[in-house]
């Protein structure tokens, strides 16, 4: 029997009060300066989300170390104490605008470029990435793993001191912690690989180290429920990972899917081939006459699988039945009916969205007030490719004029 849950009424997530059950999911904004410090543009963007009714804002990922920085435009950082005052100004203003905000912290592992970080690329195993294949990543030694664990803990403390309401630990999408969790990217034979418990060990150690620094401060995670590769994470294993997450002391779980090399699996919709050719570092130097020749192959490798809507909901429901902590689900949820189906169908406790907020910062207010029943995002995915060279924005399926 379904339980009627109003998505627009106040709720609590690990002790944090939310004005609604609709969350702005982490999205790389590219609105930092060259040192990873948040800009006025980023603060104003978050203020719009807060005033627009978002129950919670989760920041775009912040690197815990220079080595873990992403290859996209102007990533935010939380790798040194000097950044705390700037983040404190941001959290103060977001709170004044009416919403809590969590800091998502991450290490990009092998999914980055030495040209961007200035440092060697690292991973649990020396397996070359399909997208970032310039070099075989360095297989982390145990002392290096513990150093990274300490960097996550230090970043968590900085987030708390900067006034964030909680932390989201990024364990999805093929970044470092995700690489350890997945058999596809973790081929280790030591205590950090092999069994699920061993592959989970780095997350468990991160949780212990963070708890020592921040106490009972809210910590949620983002994790994959599905990966295309035969030996990648599938929903049944995701349930077991979620159980380990709860045992490790995680306060909530956001369910997502996909790796960067899998293309538009995590962000399903149109295949944004024109802006990919214009902006991606692999293709931007190719002559335009080659674009049509490459499109069929690239679409086959990186296009979206089906379904295109609510594609993580069933797996989230499996996880929700298996754990006692709140579950958030992201992925192709685009209408009031779909939100209600998730919440009242007890598939998850909260719904999060990413791309729709780029076009409509006030979408929660619009849905609540009956101004619209479905968001305006057309899932063109131009926003994702455009973030490689410029700040986040909606392109609505059109290539920028200067391209």
Catalytic residues: 175
Q: Is residue 189 a contact partner of residue 124, using CB atoms and an 8 Å limit?
A: no
Which is it for the CA torsion 44, 392, 158, 168, positive or negative?
positive
Number of alpha carbons in the 13 Å side-chain half-sphere of residue 235: 12
Q: Provide the Cα torsion 117, 170, 60, 281; round to 10°.
A: 40
Residues in the chain: 403
Alpha carbons 193 and 227: distance in angstroms, whole number = 18
What is each CA distance from 42 to 26, 38, 59, 197, 206, in whole angstroms? Answer: 13, 6, 10, 38, 28
Please name which of 317, 256, 242 lies closest in space to residue 25, comparing C-alpha atoms: 256
The CA–CA distances, whole Å, from 153 to 132, 175, 213, 219, 220 equal 27, 17, 6, 11, 14
- Residues 184, 315: Cα–Cα separation, whole Å: 20
For residue 337, the tally of other CB atoms under 10 A from its CB is 11
CB-CB contact of 265 with 305 (8 Å): yes
Q: Beta 76-77 vs 62-63: how paired, if at all?
A: parallel
User: Mapping DSSP to helix (H, G, I), strand (E, B) and coil, where does residue 335 land?
Assistant: strand
Number of alpha carbons in the 13 Å side-chain half-sphere of residue 94: 30
CA distance 16 to 224: 24
Q: Which H/E stretch holds residue 84?
A: helix 84-97
Cα–Cα nearest to 172, from 160, 185, 155: 185
Q: What is the distance between the alpha carbons of residues 278 and 272, in angstroms, rounded to a whole number?
A: 10
Read off φ and ψ for residue 293, nearest 5 degrees: -70, -35
DSSP state of 165: S
Strand partners, 74: none
| Residue 370 burial (C-beta neighbours within 10 Å; 0-12, 13-18, 19+) | exposed
């Amino acid at each position: 029997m379904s339980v009627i849950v109003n998505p627009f009424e106040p709720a609590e997530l690990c002790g944090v009060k939310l004005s609604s059950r609709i969350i702005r999911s982490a999205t790389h904004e590219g609105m930092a300066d060259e040192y990873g410090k948040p800009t006025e543009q980023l603060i104003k963007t978050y203020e719009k989300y807060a005033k627009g009714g978002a129950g919670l804002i989760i920041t775009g990922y912040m690197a815990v170390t220079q080595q873990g920085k992403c290859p996209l435009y102007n990533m935010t950082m939380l790798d040194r104490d000097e950044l705390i005052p700037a983040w404190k100004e941001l959290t103060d203003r977001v709170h004044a605008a009416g919403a809590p905000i969590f800091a998502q912290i991450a290490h990009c592992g092998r999914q980055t470029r030495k040209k961007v970080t200035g440092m060697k690329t690292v991973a649990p195993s020396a397996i070359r990435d399909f997208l970032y294949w310039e070099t075989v990543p360095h297989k982390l030694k145990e002392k290096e793993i513990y150093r990274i664990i300490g960097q996550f803990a230090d970043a968590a403390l900085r987030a708390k001191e900067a006034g964030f309401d909680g932390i989201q630990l990024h364990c999805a999408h093929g970044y470092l912690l995700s690489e350890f969790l997945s058999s596809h990217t973790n081929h280790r034979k030591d205590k950090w690989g092999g069994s699920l418990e061993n592959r989970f060990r780095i997350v468990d150690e991160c949780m212990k180290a963070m708890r020592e620094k921040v106490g009972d401060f809210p910590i949620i995670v983002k994790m994959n429920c599905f990966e295309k590769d035969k030996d990648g994470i599938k929903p049944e294993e995701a349930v077991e990972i979620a159980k380990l997450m709860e045992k490790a002391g995680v306060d909530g779980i956001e369910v997502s899917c996909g790796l960067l090399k899998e293309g538009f699996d995590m962000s399903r919709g149109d295949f944004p081939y024109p802006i990919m050719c214009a902006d991606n570092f692999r293709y931007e130097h190719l002559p335009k006459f080659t674009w049509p020749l490459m499109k069929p192959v690239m679409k086959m490798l990186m296009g979206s699988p089906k379904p295109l809507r609510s594609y993580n909901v069933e797996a989230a429901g499996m996880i929700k039945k298996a754990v006692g902590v709140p579950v958030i689900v992201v992925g192709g949820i685009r209408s009031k009916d779909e939100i209600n189906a998730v919440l009242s169908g007890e598939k998850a406790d909260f719904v999060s969205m990413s791309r729709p907020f780029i076009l409509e910062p006030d979408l929660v207010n619009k849905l609540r007030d009956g101004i619209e029943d479905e968001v305006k995002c057309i899932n063109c995915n131009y926003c994702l490719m455009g973030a490689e060279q410029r700040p986040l924005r909606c392109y609505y399926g059109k290539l920028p004029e200067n391209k």
